[in-house]
Structure 1
Amino acid sequence: MGLVCLVGAAYSLLAAASDENESHRERTLRILKQQDRIIERHDARGSRLEEMQDQALAGLLWNESMEFIYEALGALALPAGPSYGNEYTEPRFARLNDYESPEALTDIYLKSHAVHFAVEHNHECLVVQEPFDYPFAKRLDWWEVAFDNGEVADLPDISPGPFSSQQGRYCIVDYPVDHEAEPVALKGEFFTQLPDNVVALEFSAEDIGSTKSASGIDVTLVDMSEYAYVIEVNEAQSDALPLRDHDIVGEAISANGRYVSRNSNRSEPLAYYLEFEVLLDDLVDRLAAGELDEEQIRQEIMAYREEWAQEEHIHYKAFGFNGDVDTARVTLLARSEDAVEMRQEINASVFSRHALITDEDAVSSLLYFDRPVYDDRYILDGARSDYDSDELQSLIEVRKEQRRREYLQDHEYGDRVFFDYPAVASDLFIDSLERYQKPGKEGVRFFDAEGNRIALPADHEQLYRFMVSRVEYNPDTFPEYPARLEVTLPVQTAPDIVKQRFSLEALPEGIEIEGNALIIDHASFSFEAAGLESGTTSYFFAKDESERYLQEVTNTSLPTESGEAREIYYFYGLPESIEIWQQGEIEVIKLKMDTDLPASIEEQESALEA
């Protein structure tokens, strides 16, 4: 009966032992203990089944136990949060704001595919590039490639065949036509069913237990933790078609306003898994007593699942995220009987750099996209260039990770302290591997629980090391267990990014716009004449008439007779102005980061048990 007490309410996100004041560390440790307990019971169940006389029935229960343990461990892990801290993403449905309707968005999506001709592993390949992540469920099948001599060849779903396909790459293994012919287009078919209504509802932790409604659909926030939330969707009063699983989309917004990437979701309450384990143990007991046959086992498992099956109009969803959840955002994709179904052939032109080299006049006809797709990266349109030392002191997120020693390799460190830099525009120029310089000899200092500095040997590699943006250490090897860490971090910043803007009427010499192509002839273009520095990293951007950044399709550099490169940047949409960015002066500032360190996992577990 030990596990039964953990079951709690059917719609509880966490196990019944959860407390609203429980810290992330306490919750993680408790979940790890629950997982250990489930693994132990699974192993014990396996040992008993190995001794059964009827191995056919024992194998049936063992398969159920194996399926259960993978699902249960994943379900328990959902509220535990990320291993490495906040990971951000773009809002899934943000691009709906760029176009007048889902149909218009779909039209742009279909007409903006680019196919690149490249040589990979000695094979000529066609590489498909989507303009953006399509926000709705879709099917897109490429089935034919056209060549410039008028011939076509089928694309099989899988190799072997003249083409080998893998993740949007179609490599020509055995040329199906005259080898002198070049591929010019990739053809396929697209299908989707668009929603009539896209409904977004937002909840905070204060809304736990409350219900919000839209279009006859009720959404209740059942539970919410630091890194996850649970909802119940009831569409009993809706006139729309029944919601499918992918019609319920869970997203999360952190306290800084950025969207956090999702790492998991499930459609059954946690209690479903915990109570199923009780059933498995009972079935093993009865099989050992000779009280079961195959039909009874299958019937009882089916009956259990049917008992837990939700009513058709009720949906349970739990979402876990790679970072803190400040706002839960639930989007419902409602459809009616008249929902638009789109089935359309797609014909994407193949871009070949070779064609540009042999025909300079081909620039404006290759990869021509006149309708805009916007570059909504946060570091372009929302972020600061960089921050000063006072701001960084509070904006750098300090995260801590602990791992059990028995799960580590000899060369690995058990505990880690991460220093996560905020998103800034200077990320374009300063690689994350170079943002922090290695602290000096006195730059990393550990202290014990009494506040005394721990004296460490000069050769400290076995105790700790600094790697990129984190301190890794083995606390068990220290003379005294470390309780606090001070790190003096030299940080590279670029607070004064230089941004020069030029309209189409005032482009610098050597720069021209042809359709959606920005062309830079370095034989005549001078950074100095444009008010910029030469010999430093530069980025070229384009804006349309709405003053929004256009997303780049691709860029290439071509040789010229002068020996100077001719660069070509293709954009989705027609530029009305361009911007050239340079990093400006690099400033190195020193930050003193001071943070408490967690007690050992064993000590924390003892405290929880107490």
Structure 2
Amino acid sequence: MDVRLPLASVGLGLALLISGCSPSDEKKQASLEEKTVQFEQSLDAIQDPKLKDAIANLGGSLLLLERAQLKLDSKPLETEYGDDSLALLKHYPTAQALVDTYVNGLFVLRKSSNSDYLTDLQPVFPFSFNMPTQFPFPHGLEWQSVTLSNKKVIPFQAEWSETDPGIQLSPSSSNLTNPDDLTITYPFIEGLEVDNKNQPQPVSLQGKLEVIAPGRVLAFELTKADIGKPRQDGNIRLTLLTLDRNVAEIELSNSAPLPEEANDASLNPLLAQARDSKGQILSRAGSINESAQQIAFYQQQLAEMQKQKAWSEAFEKQLEDEQKAFDQQHTNHYAKVYFNGLVDRLEVAVLDFSQASVTRKDLDLPVHRFDSNTTDRNIQPLPMPVVVYDDQASHYLKGAQLDEESLKKSVTISQSVEDASAARIEFSHPRTFNDELLGSEFSTNDTPLTFFTQNEKGQRGEPIELPDEAFDIDPLRGVITYDLNLFPETPAYAVGSIPLFLATIEKSSINAQQLPKGLELRGNALIVDQKLFPADAWRFFAKDASGQYLKEILASSHSASADGTALFDVHYFYGEPSQLESYTRSTLDTVQYGFEVKLDKAESAPPAP
């Protein structure tokens, strides 16, 4: 939850403002709910639609901010670890080197489709964009057109048109998780069979890319001893305002003016992460990016809006002038960052945009096709001129040393009694690297299960005699399903055991210059013979000369025929491996997880009419 004002088109929705919030301070929550109701009622009295929208947007944003603050302040202090969000900045010697990696590492994949009228294109970026800190520089990408195999150029349009009879290129509506995906739509002719193979195929994708890079990146490490003591580095001044348990407030000032290129950009010059006393990185719970002065200013503007009877150009200019005057007087950047766990020290990266550089590039990217499964024995090259590291690999590979005790401790039990005829108990655990190497041959042994009543003392009572059809155990999925309608007595406890599976994994290091039979490197592509190193039991990770794990781009499995008999797999990396790590399952053990579950009570069915 990262909240920053002003929020564009927030509007006001009770569900957004109230739902999911369960703070310990019920009085503050009730006050917020009352304030929200009063604000909604005040909106009803406004006649001018433009004024009403402006008040709803700003007032809704302020209420959303207050709700976020309340939720973050009342969040239970639970330790949760995360990844190094500043690692990306550490891998490259300069900010421009990071920009060049982003720009030159972009390529386009053609995705497989069952439709004769649709072809999806997926731009593949070298860095993830799931978190704001993954690629920290302002960037923009504008697609312009696609060139087809018949030399025809199809311009990009913002949305698909039902009335356009030609071939169209528009954003994909089928994949919300990849907003940059595109779809080529071929015209549909009623009654005419169309073979996609006969359609002109996409050859290259054109667009424009722009990235703003800071002139320098400064690293600071702060502890409680630094509170109130400004740290100066040239034009940069960083101050730790507070550091209390799981929250830190920091303020940044840059005495140098921003260049024209960076003035209108959405710049975030402050990146912060925390470590606990063990030196482990704490995950972020959220942040508030408005200082008390900023919030007071927006509240003042809202009050001015609420005094108006109608919106006018003069009033709009007044608000703009007030905003400009406030921004000129308050140039500092503020952040209040919350973490999941007790903070011992804070790591801050400051991006100095006072000497920003802008990289612009016209893109003409060839369209590649790599099917995850193919019968083609030819190995396609995927040359990559950049190096990208996998910062999650080392943490993920800790799962190779998973032991029985840790596996049992990670199990969570959930229940569902909404459907009395199919009540459920589910046993689950976070997926680790160990799960990836379990294979497919499982021995579940016996899965004993007994249901019990509850005695007068509220403890486990007598066992319940049940027919076989009263319950079902799916040991591989860790699910118990039972039919309460077939129980002669109400069950209160379930006692038994469910199997868990634990692989013994052996790790080896292999020099790229001395690969064993069955492994071959062609540039950034690793070819793995599936007869000697079947994917069911083997995994390979690559490192370059620096000793860091290379990020895998994609993998393709080549089979002898459509029946799926595996021949070899090909793994492509951002960079050329100089060393491989192999992980193989030597044994697979079944671990019995014993349990006693107090059953949730099913709601009584309503009486028949």
Q: In 2, distance between residues paired with 1:592 and 1:310?
A: 65
Counterpart of 1:75?
69
The amino acid that maps onto 1:574 is: E
Q: Which amino acid aligns with 1:70?
A: L
1:98 alignment partner in structure 2: 91
Distance 2:53 2:30 in 1: 24
Deviation at 1:344, TM superposition (A): 1.5
- Residue 147 and residue 227 in structure 1: after superposition, are their counterparts in 2 closer, same or farther (change >3 A)? farther
The partner residue of 1:164 within 147, 164, 170 is 170
* Counterpart residue number, 1:386: 401
Residue in structure 1 matched with residue 290 of structure 2 by the alignment: 268
Tell me, yes or no, if structure 1 residue 127 matches structure 2 residue 122. Answer: yes
Distance 1:585 1:356, change over 3 A: closer
What is the letter of the counterpart of residue 537 of structure 1? A
Over 3 Å counting, the alpha-carbon distance change for 1:56 and 1:255 in structure 2 is same
Aligned partners of 1:260 and 1:322 also within 8 Å: yes
Measured after TM superposition, the shift of residue 342 of structure 1 is 1.0
Residue 577 (structure 2) aligned to one of 551, 575, 579 = 575
CA distance in 2 between counterparts of 1:398 and 1:440 reads: 19
- TM-superposed deviation, 1:130: 0.8
State how far apart, in whole Å, the 2-side matches of 1:275 and 1:411 are: 52
- Between the aligned partners of 2:497 and 2:342, the Cα distance in structure 1 is 25
Using the TM superposition, give the Cα deviation of residue 552 of structure 1 relative to its aligned residue in structure 2, in angstroms.
1.3
- Structure 1 unaligned blocks of 5 or more: 1-26, 401-407, 413-417, 460-467, 471-484, 528-533, 595-610
Task: Decide whether aligned partners of structure 1 residues 304 and 390 sit closer, same or farther in structure 2, where only a CA change above 3 A counts.
Answer: farther
Is 1:35 the equivalent of 2:35?
A: no
SS at match of 1:33: helix
TM-score under structure 2 length normalisation: 0.65
Moved more, 312-321 or 132-141: 312-321
Matches within 5 A, 1:230-379: 230-236=249-255, 245-254=267-276, 257-262=279-284, 264-269=286-291, 311-321=329-339, 325-337=343-355, 339-353=356-370, 363-364=379-380, 366-369=381-384, 371-379=386-394
Q: Deviations over 1:226-269 (max 9, x none)?
A: 44322222334x57769964122233345554544545433324
Where does residue 508 of structure 1 map in the other structure?
516
Q: CA deviation at 1:521?
A: 4.0
Q: Is the 8 A contact 1:39 1:69 kept in 2?
A: no
**Partner Cα distance (2:374, 2:410) in 1:** 47
State the shift of 1:551 in Å. Answer: 1.6
Q: CA offsets, 1:25-76, max 9 Å, x none?
A: xx974445312212113324555776x6x76699689736544322321232
Distance 1:212 1:156, change over 3 A: same
**Residue 113 of structure 1: aligned partner:** 106
What is the aligned-residue identity percentage?
22
- Which of 215, 218, 221 aligns to 2:240? It is 221
Number of the residue aligned with 1:497 = 505
Cα gap change, 1:174 to 1:577, in 2 (>3 Å): same
Three-state SS of the structure 1 residue aligned to 2:400 is coil
1:211 pairs with 2:223: no
**Alpha carbons 1:386, 1:493 under 8 Å: kept:** no
Distance 1:256 1:445 in 2: 46
The 3-state SS of whatever aligns with 1:583 is strand
Cα displacement string for residues 107-143 of structure 1 (whole angstroms, at most 9, x for unaligned residues): 2222222322123462211111111133311112232
Structure 2 unaligned residues grouped into runs of 5+: 1-20, 129-134, 162-166, 173-178, 189-195, 421-425, 466-476, 480-492, 597-609
Pair 1:208–1:392, CA change in 2 (3 A) = farther
2:55–2:305 Cα contact (<8 Å) kept: no
DSSP 3-state at the match of 1:336: helix
RMSD: 5.7
Instruction: Provide the secondary structure at the position in 2 that maps to 1:43.
Output: helix
So what's the TM-score if we normalise by structure 1?
Answer: 0.65
Cα displacement string for residues 190-221 of structure 1 (whole angstroms, at most 9, x for unaligned residues): 21121111112233456444433333322222
Whether 1:182 and 2:201 are equivalent positions in the alignment is yes
- Name the CA distance, whole Å, in 1 between partners of 2:267 and 2:437: 41
Q: 1:73-130 deviations in whole A, cap 9, x for unaligned?
A: 12322333489x6665543331333333222222222222232212346221111111
* Counterpart amino acid of residue 350 in structure 2: L
> 1:411-430: CA deviations, max 9, x gaps?
89xxxxx9997996535446
1: CA distance, partners of 2:330 / 2:437: 52
The letter of the residue matching 2:333 is H
C-alpha separation in 2, matches of 1:168 and 1:60: 30
Render the CA deviation track for 1:446-495: whole Å, top value 9, x for unaligned. Answer: 9xxx9x96779979xxxxxxxx999xxxxxxxxxxxxxx9x999785747
Give the whole-Å Cα distance in 2 for the aligned partners of 1:455 and 1:60: 62
Aligned to 1:18: none
Q: How many Å separate the matches in 2 of 1:445 and 1:199? A: 64
Q: Distance in 1 between matches of 2:222 and 2:208?
A: 39
Q: What is the rounded CA distance, in whole Å, between the counterparts of 2:298 and 2:419 in structure 1? A: 40
Give 1:604's aligned residue. none
Instruction: Give the whole-Å Cα distance in 2 for the aligned partners of 1:170 and 1:515.
Output: 30
SS in 2 for 1:497: strand
Assess if the C-alpha contact under 8 Å between 2:23 and 2:70 holds in 1.
no
Contact 1:81 1:226 in 2 (8 A): no
**What residue is the counterpart of 1:479 in the other structure?**
none
* Letter in structure 2 aligned against 1:331: A
Verify the 8 A CA contact 1:265 1:317 in the aligned structure 2.
yes
Tell me, what secondary structure is at the counterpart of 2:329? coil
| Cα displacement (A) at 1:554 | 1.0
Looking at structure 2, the residues matched to 326 and 280 of structure 1 have their Cα atoms a distance apart, in angstroms, of 39
The match for 2:537 is 537
Is the CA contact (8 Å cut-off) linking 1:426 and 1:583 kept in structure 2?
A: no
**1:283-317 deviation digits (Å, cap 9, x = unpaired):** 98xx8xxxx85699x79999998998783332222
Q: Which moved more, 1:127-136 or 1:156-165?
A: 156-165
CA distance in 1 between counterparts of 2:149 and 2:142 reads 22
- Over 3 Å counting, the alpha-carbon distance change for 1:185 and 1:281 in structure 2 is closer
Tell me: CA distance 1:115–1:309, structure 2 relative to 1, closer, same or farther (3 Å): closer
Structure 1 position 367, deviation (Å): 1.5
Of 487, 493, 518, 2:526 maps to: 518
Q: How many aligned residue pairs are there?
A: 514
Match of 1:198 in 2: 217
**Residues 281, 542 of structure 1: alpha-carbon distance in 2 compared, 3 angstrom cutoff:** closer
The answer to whether the Cα contact below 8 Å between 2:288 and 2:336 also exists between their aligned partners in 1 is yes
Q: Does the C-alpha gap of structure 1 residues 372 and 488 become closer, same or farther in structure 2, counting only changes over 3 Å?
A: farther
Contact 2:216 2:353 in 1 (8 A): yes
Query: Which residue identity does 2:31 align to in structure 1?
Result: R
Kindly indicate whether the alpha-carbon contact (under 8 Å) linking 1:492 and 1:586 is maintained by their aligned counterparts in 2. no
Structure 1 56/519 Cα, relative in aligned 2: closer, same or farther at 3 Å?
closer
Deviation of residue 162 (structure 1)?
Answer: 0.4
SS at structure 2 position matched to 1:574:
coil
Q: Is the contact made by 1:494 and 1:584 (CA closer than 8 Å) also made in structure 2?
A: no
Which whole-Å CA distance do the structure 1 matches of 2:203 and 2:373 have between them?
Answer: 14
Deviations 1:368-407 (A, max 9, x none): 12543222224468736335467789x869999xxxxxxx
Secondary structure of the residue aligned to 2:549 is coil
SS in 1 for 2:382: coil
Distance in structure 2 (CA, Å) of the matches to 1:444 and 1:136: 60
